[in-house]
Amino acid sequence: MHTQLLFVLVGAALLGSLAAGAEAPTPGAAPAYTADGRLHPLEDYRQWIYLTTGFDMSYNPALRMDHHMFDNVFVNPEAYRSFLQTGTWPDKTMLVLEARGAESKGSINKLGHYQGTAMGLEVHVKDEARFPGKWAFFAVDESKPAPMIPQSADCYSCHTDHAAVDTTFVQFYPTLLPIATAKGTLSASYQKANAAAKNRMRK
């Protein structure tokens, strides 16, 4: 009798611990820096949430590339889940822009383009206590710690002036733009520019 009761109690404790383990939150991804302020490599970013892909996009009308390119955007899962609830990005958000060359000749492909080798990586980090403007850009080179792009660079003012949500180009993220619209988190500058663009299209 005592032996059977012991087995029941041990089994119940084991099931309880397994259930508790299933509900326990896993450690979240957060930006990590070297002593001199460089961003440590993000080796698992391709396991994050995929947001969108751009093709030959450029915000500079004078830029003329001699090749085609895809831009893939990923965000850490914790930030994504928060955005779904609030329509904006929480502290410690990390957005990764992965540039890949576009290929057209290979295997059985006869038309169009597919993604080739990686050509560059950029990370947009929100760290409110660390950066004066809350956000910073890092240009990643292979697996080395990445230096911060100086805040005098054009990318900062471009994102500030034209981004749909919290200095990020959510207007190009088709699954998130409706959420930001519904939550009322679209920036005033984006709404004004978007309304002007629609008016021009009507004329």
What is the C-alpha separation between 12 and 15, in angstroms, rounded?
5
Q: Rg for the chain (alpha carbons), in Å?
A: 22
pLDDT of residue 24: 35
pLDDT of residue 68: 86
Task: Name the more confident of 44 and 125.
Answer: 125
Task: Name the more confident of 4 and 169.
Answer: 169
pLDDT of residue 143: 82
pLDDT of residue 65: 64
Which residue do the tokens 């004329």 mark?
203
Q: How many other CB atoms are found less than 10 A from the CB of residue 165?
A: 23
| Each residue's pLDDT tens digit, 15-65 | 343 333 333 333 457 899 999 999 999 989 999 999 999 987 876 666 566
Does residue 14 register a pLDDT over 60? no
pLDDT of residue 81: 98
Homologous superfamily, domain 24-153? Cytochrome P460 (3.50.70.20)
pLDDT of residue 11: 40
What is the C-alpha separation between 43 and 40, in angstroms, rounded?
9
What is the C-alpha separation between 70 and 100, in angstroms, rounded?
5
Read off the amino acid at residue 73.
Answer: V
| Each residue's pLDDT tens digit, 140-155 | 987 899 999 999 999 9
Domain boundaries, the chain: 24-153
Does residue 84 register a pLDDT over 90? yes
Read off the amino acid at residue 138.
Answer: F
Both tokens assigned to 198? 């629609």
Q: Residue range 89-106: average pLDDT? A: 92
One DSSP character per residue, the chain reads -HHHHHHHHHHHHHHHHHHHHHHSPPPPP---B-TTSPBPP-TTGGGSEEEEEEES--S-TT---SS-EEEEEEE-HHHHHHHHHHSSPPTT-EEEEEEEEEE-SSTT--SS-EEEEEEEEEEEEE-TTT-TTSEEEEEE-TTSPBPBPPTTSHHHHHHHHH-SBTTB-GGG-TTTHHHHHHHT---HHHHHHHHHHHHHHH-
What is the C-alpha separation between 124 and 111, in angstroms, rounded?
34
Q: Residue range 125-144: average pLDDT? A: 93
pLDDT of residue 63: 58
pLDDT of residue 109: 85
Give pTM, 2 decimals: 0.79
Q: Residue range 157-174: average pLDDT? A: 96
pLDDT more than 70, % of the chain: 82
pLDDT of residue 102: 83
